[in-house]
Amino acid sequence: MMQLQKTRLTYFIGFIFILFNLLLVRVVYLVFFNDKIKNYQINKNVKRGMILDKRGIELSVSTESATIGINPANVYDPYFTAQYLSEPLNIPQDKLESTIKEKSNYFLLKREIDKDIGNKIANLALPGVRVEKEFKRIYPQGKLASNLLGFTGLDDDKALAGLENEYNLELMSPPNSSSERGNDIHLSLDSLIQYNLEKALAKVYKSTESTRAIGIFMDIDTGDILAMASYPNFDPNQYNNYPSNNHTNWAIRHVYEPGSTMKIFIALMLANEGVLGDNERFYCPGYIEFGNSLIRCTDKHGSVNLEEILQYSCNVGIIKASQKVSDKIFHSYLEKFHFGKRTGFLSNENKGYLPPLNKWKQSTPYFLSIGQGLSVTPIQLVASAASVVNGGRFINPRPVTKITNSYGELVHQFSVKSTDIGIKKSSRDSILKAMTKVVKSGTGKNAYLADISIAGKTGTGQKATPGKGYQEGLWSASFLGFFPAENPKIVGLILFDEPAGNVYSGGGLAAPVFREVVEGILPLLDRNEPLLSYKLKHIQPKKFLVNPNLAPNLIGLSLIEAIAALNDAKIRFTVSGSGFVLDQTPKPGEPINDKSVIRLTLEK
């Protein structure tokens, strides 16, 4: 009996020991490895790191500010206290006095005030009044790339959306205990290309009253996102003044049917498999019937080969041609192109839909060939399109190229991630040739530029609503393009969702915007025609002579020129709008000091 009790005691002690070790492991994990706990432990006294574009232009910075707190129990005279706080805090004295009298517990009176005002209030040494140091997040470029950047809340260490949220831990992590500033995030984004994209996209978005508009430009060899715009957008400096819909990055969240842009991938599959004879032709009477379905073309195209199918965006031709491959091969290509998968761009990226092979019907490949029956996100379509022309490598798109610490030392370099799809050069060349004709004389002719050859494909898709099917008057208009066509280096997508008006085609709406963006960024590109190599040109900023005691005259300058002048003079500034400077405060020639902040008002 005694032996049995000893055995039980041994088992019990062993169980307690194991349980203790499990709890210990769990505690160690939560304290040192769990991101949520690590975020919670972030020191609020750490100044959040900057977010910069690839040119070093500051897109998101933190400045020191102050918060005024009141402990009513320690306030000797509410009237006297309100009298001294009213003017610097811009709060009516009677309202301030009644607030102090009504409350009994410590409360924050006003947050994110200028630190100089906070210092003045601290010097008053008012009983019951506390001045707390904090940091205020500022977005110097206003709305530029706002949907990608995201924003923080009043607490600088609490990121709420976008890259701010994705890289919150990195931005709040100083290199050592002696540093009080977090790491800096360096984007692949180019602000000059971004500005051109947003300017061109916004005009048509507003004029067509589209539900949303999206634009993406990406380096096809590295996956670097050079520009990414979504409308509606917002000013992250005043994010509370906009509905949550405006905060969304639709370039990674919008899910839609790609329409005729899908024909690029089907044509490449057919060319790569070698299933079509030389100049094999298909007859298009203007429609095709199968089962109870009828699919129409925009015209009666007659006899068309693969090149002409793309050139005229012939539905009948691509459906007939697609029957040359088995469902298994068809599905395998779509999987290789990453349809129905996330790209890994950001953690909140949406996922499109590709029907699994075991659910395919006889009509499934017919509809897929014209971009119906599957869905994509804009970022996924752009990444997949890059693999069509870059030698058959699916490149994961990336918004960030590197992270550096507050001393400028490299913390992490993001490498290019790619997966080989297996595309023959001859297949790629034939599709590029066809897409170049699309722009020269086909449905994409509104994207044509004499200065540079562009290849591309238009997309006009009728939209379906749950329970009602495809609806008249609901359209998605897009243009997917590559340049230079001879050896593409950049891929871009322009998309308008549910545009109003009589013009709703990809060729009519999206193609001209693509052309305008490319035309605007051509001066930013170094072109070495014999090597067909393109790289972003380093823009030498103009040199400005600025008197540090007088506000410089910035009116009429571009945003980039104004920023260069102010940065050279080490003058702080805020920006409202985009384009060229229309007004400024203080006015040109007015006295300033090292604490002054110049407020720039630009074209909207």
Q: In CATH, what number is assigned to the domain containing residue 261?
A: 3.40.710.10
Contact 46, 38 (CB under 8 A): no
- For residues 54 and 494, what is the distance between their CA atoms, to the nearest angstrom? 22
Q: Name the average pLDDT for the chain.
A: 87
Please check whether residue 359 lies inside any domain of the structure: yes
Number of domains in the chain: 4
Tokens 């992250």 sit at which residue?
A: 236
Q: Looking at the structure, do residues 299 and 433 belong to the same domain, yes or no?
A: yes
Q: Could you tell me the CATH number of the domain that includes residue 109?
A: 3.90.1310.10
Domain containing residue 96: 62-138
Q: Which helix (H) or strand (E) holds 313?
A: none
Please check whether residue 203 lies inside any domain of the structure: yes
Which residue among 468, 498, 526 closes a domain?
Answer: 526
Please check whether residue 478 lies inside any domain of the structure: yes
Give the CA angle between residues 257, 232, 368 to the nearest 5°. 5
Residue type at 83? Q
Q: Looking at the structure, do residues 468 and 496 belong to the same domain, yes or no?
A: yes
Is pLDDT at 588 greater than 60 in this prediction? Answer: yes
Please check whether residue 516 lies inside any domain of the structure: yes
Which residue among 105, 123, 138 closes a domain?
Answer: 138
Q: Looking at the structure, do residues 349 and 469 belong to the same domain, yes or no?
A: yes
Please check whether residue 52 lies inside any domain of the structure: no
Start-end of H helices in 90-185: 93-102, 115-124, 146-149, 162-166, 168-171
Q: Looking at the structure, do residues 218 and 352 belong to the same domain, yes or no?
A: yes
Q: Looking at the structure, do residues 551 and 466 belong to the same domain, yes or no?
A: no
pLDDT band, residue 497 (cuts 50/70/90): very high
Question: Strand ranges (DSSP E) for 78-189?
Answer: 107-114, 129-138, 151-152, 159-161, 184-187
User: Phi then psi for 61, rounded to 5 degrees?
Assistant: -140, 160
pLDDT tens-digit profile of 127-162? 999 998 888 899 999 999 999 999 998 877 788 999
Q: Looking at the structure, do residues 86 and 110 belong to the same domain, yes or no?
A: yes
Q: Looking at the structure, do residues 544 and 522 belong to the same domain, yes or no?
A: no
| CB neighbour class for 10 (10 Å; exposed up to 12, middle 13-18, buried from 19) | exposed
Contact 581, 600 (CB under 8 A): yes
- For residues 238 and 226, what is the distance between their CA atoms, to the nearest angstrom? 25
- For residues 436 and 370, what is the distance between their CA atoms, to the nearest angstrom? 20
Contact 592, 553 (CB under 8 A): no
Please check whether residue 164 lies inside any domain of the structure: no
Q: Looking at the structure, do residues 319 and 435 belong to the same domain, yes or no?
A: yes
Contact 99, 72 (CB under 8 A): no
pLDDT tens-digit profile of 91-105? 999 999 999 999 989
Q: Looking at the structure, do residues 14 and 81 belong to the same domain, yes or no?
A: no
Rg (CA), the chain: 29
Is pLDDT at 37 greater than 70 in this prediction? Answer: no
Q: Looking at the structure, do residues 78 and 106 belong to the same domain, yes or no?
A: yes
Please check whether residue 484 lies inside any domain of the structure: yes
Is pLDDT at 309 greater than 90 in this prediction? Answer: yes
Which residue among 493, 526, 559 closes a domain?
Answer: 526
Please check whether residue 47 lies inside any domain of the structure: no
Q: Could you tell me the CATH number of the domain that includes residue 560?
A: 3.30.10.20
Q: Looking at the structure, do residues 19 and 85 belong to the same domain, yes or no?
A: no
pLDDT tens-digit profile of 410-468? 999 999 999 999 999 999 999 999 999 999 989 999 999 988 999 999 998 878 777 66
Q: Looking at the structure, do residues 493 and 562 belong to the same domain, yes or no?
A: no
